[in-house]
Amino acid sequence: MTDASDDVLLAATARGDSRAFAMLVERHAARVHGFAQSVLADRAEAEDVTQEVFVKLWQHADAWQAERAKLSTWLFRVTRNAALNYRQRVRPREQAWTEHTPDPATEALETGIERDEDAQRLQAAIATLPEQQRSAMHLVYGQGLRQKEAAQAMSLSLKAFEAVLFRARRRLREDLTLASGEAREDIEP
């Protein structure tokens, strides 16, 4: 049963099979948590949201319609909505949302970058992106979703998602180019 598809495991979960549900959690929890953390920028809050997402999966497994979307796409959509709701419900409204704690996927990407300074500039630039752009970047680059799947996860049309991703890339390129230019000016007399 360990190599069973998500659809088979969901059908078993709908019948109350807790082992099938545990396998789904094991299969998807890390990605759900990583995405929640990219939205919330807080590991503990991401854990709360991850738990909430899987409670919803358990409660609504019998309503699953495999032909509508992949389970991972549905999980990312529910995760994003739950994280945004959590942020509104739990965090004080006046708290600025500027802090950023790198998630495991981002940390893995950083190891391929020429470490410290470049990675810090990239993280700082990503942290300044609006939530929707940051989520789009994380789904495509951090989670490896195709743009069509990521658009579904964010409840956007493919064209709208492509525009969000384009704006995110353009802003990162501008921010990193500006930061690189400022660093060179600091070096030159």
- Residue 87 resides in a domain: yes
According to the model, what pLDDT value does residue 92 have? 53
Cβ–Cβ under 8 Å, residues 49 and 83: yes
The Cα 172–Cα 175 span in angstroms is 5
Summarised one tens digit per residue, pLDDT across range 31-58 is: 999 999 888 888 888 999 999 999 999 9
Tokens of 160: 């709208």
CATH for 152: 1.10.1740.10
According to the model, what pLDDT value does residue 42 have? 84
Nearest to 145 by CA among 107, 176, 172, 105: 105
- Residue 16 resides in a domain: yes
- Residue 90 resides in a domain: yes
Is residue 86 over pLDDT 70?
yes
Q: What is the mean pLDDT of residues 156-164?
A: 92
**pLDDT band (50, 70, 90) for residue 98:** very low
Tokens of 12: 């078993």
According to the model, what pLDDT value does residue 94 have? 35
Cβ–Cβ under 8 Å, residues 164 and 156: yes
Q: What is the pTM of this model?
A: 0.64
Summarised one tens digit per residue, pLDDT across range 114-156 is: 456 666 777 778 888 898 999 998 888 888 888 999 999 999 9
Q: Give the highest mean pLDDT range of 36-45, 82-91, 105-114.
A: 36-45
Q: How many domains does the chain have?
A: 1
Domain that holds residue 43: 6-187
According to the model, what pLDDT value does residue 107 have? 53
- Residue 1 resides in a domain: no
Could you give phi then psi for residue 36, rounded to 5 degrees? Answer: -60, -40
- Residue 79 resides in a domain: yes
